[in-house]
Amino acid sequence: MTRVEWRNVLLLALAVVILTSAPYVLAWSRQGNEWQFSGFLFGVEDGNAYLGKMRLGARGLWNFSLFYTPEAHESVPLFYLTHILPGQIVGRLMAETDPAVTPTLILAYHVMRVLFDALLIVVIYRFCAKFLDTPRDRMIATLLAALGGGLGWLLSFTGQGALPADFYIPEGFSFLILFGIPHLALARAALLGGLLAVMRTLHAGSVARPDRSDWGWLAAAGICWLVVGLSVPFYLATVYCVLGAWGLAAWVKAKRFPWALFVRAVIVAAITLPLLLFYVVAFAGNPVFAAWSSQNNLASPAPIQYVFAYLPLSLLALFGVRRIWRQPGIGSALLIGWIVIVPILVYLPINVQRRMSEGVIVPLAILSAAGLSTLAQHKFSHIARWVAVAAALLTSGLLLLGGFLATLNPTRPLFRPTAEIAAFNWLNQHSQPGEIVLSAVETGNFIPAWTHLRTYMGHGPETINWQFKTNRLEYFYSDAMTVPERAAFFANPCALTFACAGPIRYVMWGPLERALAPDDTPEWAEGLLVAYDQDGYRIYEVTP
């Protein structure tokens, strides 16, 4: 790569960062006396969970524990360190009860987004440069890898009603990651960086035993993939699958077992395997974490959804496969093996199928850029080639447009009433960390982002026995519980056989809770202390 290329890719990274940041700037400008921006333009439920994890760090905690469920359990180190660490930094600058903590955490989140997005763009370009010779092809591949999508939206016209895969599966694409999921941007950049480091040790005449100069690169690959594991633990399993697919494809290409690649893959896997085993043991030995894992269902959509989502890139890639495969060495086998294995991985009988598509958009984009170059050499229609590219970029345009439109009318869940935030700030200053709050589900999702409290429920996977608790919550707010049932519920809100971390300490009563109740004078409020009552928000304190 020349200095001009480095300059251009940095300019591209800057352009992508500005483009994806513009809707957030507009959203912040729409704040007023009545509404405050949540910090997220999509995936608000998960976004609040990320802020809650950052808030653990702001409280001075390093270990992770679930705060969307009242069940007692041991906290565990090394989980969500990419969120807890920046929270720790914020916590060093201000008191955890300061109302400015959460706005500062939101700002820190977007600083991470900007930095990791720029890093991902640069690493993608460097990865593409391993396989494509011209700066033009490399830039096209980077654009397709970063912004590429498909035609899944066409299925909406068939009456299926399913959300297009490229609209909600960040593992299989990149734009959603760039638009608002910084820890996934870091994980993908580290994954690709590790592969680049391994490839650096594979050259003509490589033997099974690494040279002295190779060990530094293998250590770098191990460090990169440790970052992957600390960002998203399950991605380590994906890394191992990609290495296996690379080895099989290299075996086919070279017609002999790739001992050099095998030994290097084993060395790097040995560096990272202890971290994966730690995660496995942590989940297996923690019943609440095990229940959380079993509820984290990320099933793949129907195959037709994937077909349409990858259709423009796949058509172009067909014309680039031969060109890439014929490159000398076994590096090119990585791209082919990766693409071939993913359709199998995403339908394995596991509950996180979608995550197995992590990063596949990158090799597909490289093959697509090679396909475009091949078609140009054969005088294939210039218009047809760029129509395919435009079709691949359309999804990102639609998502970006949706982000802008969502800011025009401030409303839940992207914005929150300032009166609600005032109630949470009061609660955070007048409660003890870890006390349990009962509220409507949407309120419960928001509370840990603004307070040091736990909620009865608020996040699908992270609330143990979700449906059981949904029924109990509705039963309570509908005033159907008897006095003895309410007393038992307050004292022991946990699901089934799990022990509780404590009783319900506070009950929220705002617009979302009123929507669950038959009237504005609930019987369950009798005997509870009104601790806060302003602007339509009331907080009841449950006394022993």
Helix (H, G, I), strand (E, B) or coil at 94: coil
Q: What is the pLDDT of residue 160?
A: 67
Residue 521: left if φ>0, alpha if ψ -120 to 50, beta else—which one?
beta
pTM of the full structure:
0.95
Q: C-alpha distances in angstroms, 471 versus 32, 80, 495?
A: 36, 30, 11
What span, in angstroms and rounded, lies between the C-alpha atoms of 537 and 171? 39
**Which backbone phi and psi does 540 adopt, to 5 degrees?**
-95, 140
pLDDT at 27: 97
Q: Cα 278 to the chain's mean position, in Å?
A: 21
**Distance, CA of 204 to CA of 171 (rounded, Å):** 33
Q: What is the pLDDT of residue 445?
A: 97
Q: Which helix (H) or strand (E) holds 180?
A: helix 175-180
CA gyration radius for the chain?
25
Amino acid 189 reads A
Q: What's 65's DSSP letter?
A: -
Residue 520, classified by CB atoms within 10 Å of its CB into exposed (0-12), middle (13-18) or buried (19+), is exposed
Contact of 94 with 304, CB cutoff 8 Å: no
Q: What Å distances lie between residue 5 and 9, 140, 274, CA to CA?
A: 6, 13, 38
What are the phi and psi torsion angles at 536 (to 5°)? 85, 5
Contact 63, 76 (CB under 8 A): yes
Q: Please, what is the angle between helix 466-477 and helix 483-491, to 10°?
A: 140
Please provide the DSSP assignment of 347-414 as one string.
Answer: TSSSTTGGGGGTTTHHHHHHHHHHHHHHHHHTT--HHHHHHHHHHHHHHHHHHHHHHHHHTSS--TTT
Q: What is the pLDDT of residue 345?
A: 96
Q: What is the pLDDT along the chain (544 residues), one digit of tens a residue?
A: 889 999 999 999 999 999 999 999 999 999 999 999 999 999 999 999 999 999 999 999 999 999 999 999 999 999 999 999 999 999 999 999 999 999 999 999 999 999 999 999 999 999 999 999 999 999 999 999 999 999 988 887 776 667 899 999 999 999 999 999 999 999 999 999 999 999 999 987 778 888 888 999 999 999 999 999 999 999 999 999 999 999 999 999 999 999 999 999 999 999 999 999 999 999 999 999 999 999 999 999 999 999 999 999 999 999 999 999 999 989 999 999 999 999 999 999 999 999 999 999 999 999 999 999 998 887 676 777 788 888 899 999 999 999 999 999 999 999 999 999 999 999 999 999 999 999 999 999 999 999 999 999 999 999 999 999 999 999 999 999 999 999 999 999 996 778 999 999 999 999 999 999 998 889 999 889 999 999 999 999 998 7
- Give 188-216 as a DSSP string: HHHHHHHHHHHHHT--TT--SSPPTTHHH
User: CA-CA distance, 157 to 154, in Å (whole number)?
Assistant: 6
| Residues across the chain | 544
- With H, G, I as helix, E, B as strand and everything else as coil, classify residue 71: strand
Distance in angstroms (rounded) separating the CA atoms of residues 325 and 367: 10
